[in-house]
Amino acid sequence: MLNVAIVGPGLVGSALIEQLVAHSRSPCFAALPIAVVGIINSKKMAVSSTPFAVGDLNEWKSKVLGGSAAAADLAQFADTVAALKGPTAVVDCTSSDTIAELYPLWLSKGLHVVTPNKKAFSGDISLFRKIQELTTSPQGPSVYHEATVGAGLPVLSTLNDLVRTGDKIVKVEGIFSGTLSYLFNNFSIPGATQKFSDCVSVAKASGYTEPDPRDDLNGMDVARKVTILGRVAGHELSIDTLPVENIVPEQLRSVTTAEEFMSRLPEFDEHFKQLNEEALASGSVLRYVGMVDGVNNQSSVKLARYPLDHPFASLKGSDNII
């Protein structure tokens, strides 16, 4: 039985709880039994020495983190779940820097860590190295962060396997943002007539972008993913020195609200139209791409042209590719 303790039952954490409830009712459960034994949010926490009942998990907000739940205390939470019998994985479903900094402490207590949080793997490289040191032993704790890169594609596990078996990673290149993939797959294709601002509006209305699309267009999310890929491949990349092209028009980077940004974005449609027409005239399309090239020290995140017969040019929807 694998014990699971969930940190941050927000959008991602709630979906995980639903998946674990479904798993408990599936034929796979007998071969891979998983028990939710702890949940903590910013205000309340609950830990149990026995699995929470499925009925309670279905209504965890009231039945697990209801009125009788203890006040949230991450240190106490970690100590309590670490004392439980059997292997225990802490699943960090937040995007918090502060919580990411706790991973070495959790690992030192014998807890496994599973997370989509990019901060520990793309921030201060000393934290990344510490996590690596604590997870080198086959008998020790493990850390899994497959969901930090690739939108569900088995990218990091494949890369880790290549590195472990002695392969030298020369280059990794891909489209790592579902948002930017969607935008340029619709905007920069032969025959397309949609304005760039309209593409962004549709993407925002469809839920592809962050509440403020500048958080996608500035390239920092892709930069974090490229940094993670580079480090896993054995290169000492830093998000602070990685060249990142911010495609938010300079005049709109400091506007106060997302609403103002969206209202003014049409002012720059001509700029994006010109970039697209120049690409199409050369038989290419625009794609926002991240590249790890530690051999030539040419790692980057940028908007680039790719010929129509390139795999990046034929991508559809919001898919990632590597």
Q: Which helix (H) or strand (E) holds 136?
A: none
**Mean model confidence pLDDT for the chain:** 95
Is the pLDDT reported for residue 250 higher than 90?
yes
pLDDT tens, residue by residue, 4-34: 999 999 999 999 999 999 999 999 999 999 9
Strands 284-292 and 172-174 turn out to be antiparallel
Q: Is 191 exposed, middle or buried (0-12, 13-18, 19+ CB in 10 A)?
A: exposed
- Are 113 and 90 in contact, with CB atoms under 8 Å apart? yes
Strands 70-71 and 44-47 turn out to be antiparallel
Q: Residue 151: what pLDDT?
A: 74
pLDDT band at residue 297, thresholds of 50, 70 and 90? confident
The secondary structure of 62-124 as a DSSP string is HHTSSTTSEEP-HHHHHHHHHTSSS-EEEEE-S--HHHHTTHHHHHHTT-EEE----HHHHS-
Is the pLDDT reported for residue 308 higher than 80?
yes
pLDDT tens, residue by residue, 94-130: 999 999 999 999 999 999 999 999 999 999 999 999 9
List all residues 6 or more positions away from 117 whose beta carbon is below 8 Å from its beta carbon.
92, 93, 94, 95, 96, 99, 100, 145, 148
Q: Is 30 exposed, middle or buried (0-12, 13-18, 19+ CB in 10 A)?
A: exposed
- Are 81 and 3 in contact, with CB atoms under 8 Å apart? yes
Q: Residue 294: what pLDDT?
A: 82
How far CA 320 is from CA of 34, 176, 311, in Å, comes to 30, 5, 11
Is the pLDDT reported for residue 155 higher than 90?
yes
Q: Residue 12: what pLDDT?
A: 94
Is the pLDDT reported for residue 37 higher than 90?
yes
Q: Which helix (H) or strand (E) holds 8?
A: none
The secondary structure of 165-216 as a DSSP string is TT-----EEEB--HHHHHHHHHHSSTT----HHHHHHHHHHTT-S-SSTHHH
Q: Determine if residue 167 is left, alpha or beta; phi over 0 gives left, psi from -120 to 50 gives alpha, anything else beta.
A: beta
What integer is the mean pLDDT of 269-290? 97
Is the pLDDT reported for residue 144 higher than 80?
yes
Q: Which of 317, 299, 283, 288 is nearest to 233 (CA)?
A: 299
Q: Which two tokens stand for residue 289?
A: 């791409």
pLDDT band at residue 172, thresholds of 50, 70 and 90? very high
Q: Residue 67: what pLDDT?
A: 84
- Neighbouring CB atoms inside 10 A of 216's CB total 25
Tell the residue number behind the tokens 């499925």, with chain if given: 54
- Tell me whether residue 61 is one of the annotated catalytic residues: no
Q: Identify the DSSP state of 246.
A: -
Cα–Cα distance, 198 to 205 (Å, whole number): 10
Q: Which of 225, 273, 302, 316 is catalytic?
A: 225
- Are 4 and 19 in contact, with CB atoms under 8 Å apart? no
List all residues 6 or more positions away from 41 whose beta carbon is below 8 Å from its beta carbon.
8, 9, 10, 65, 72
- Are 120 and 131 in contact, with CB atoms under 8 Å apart? yes
List all residues 6 or more positions away from 111 whose beta carbon is below 8 Å from its beta carbon.
5, 78, 81, 82, 88, 89, 90, 141
Q: Residue 120: what pLDDT?
A: 97
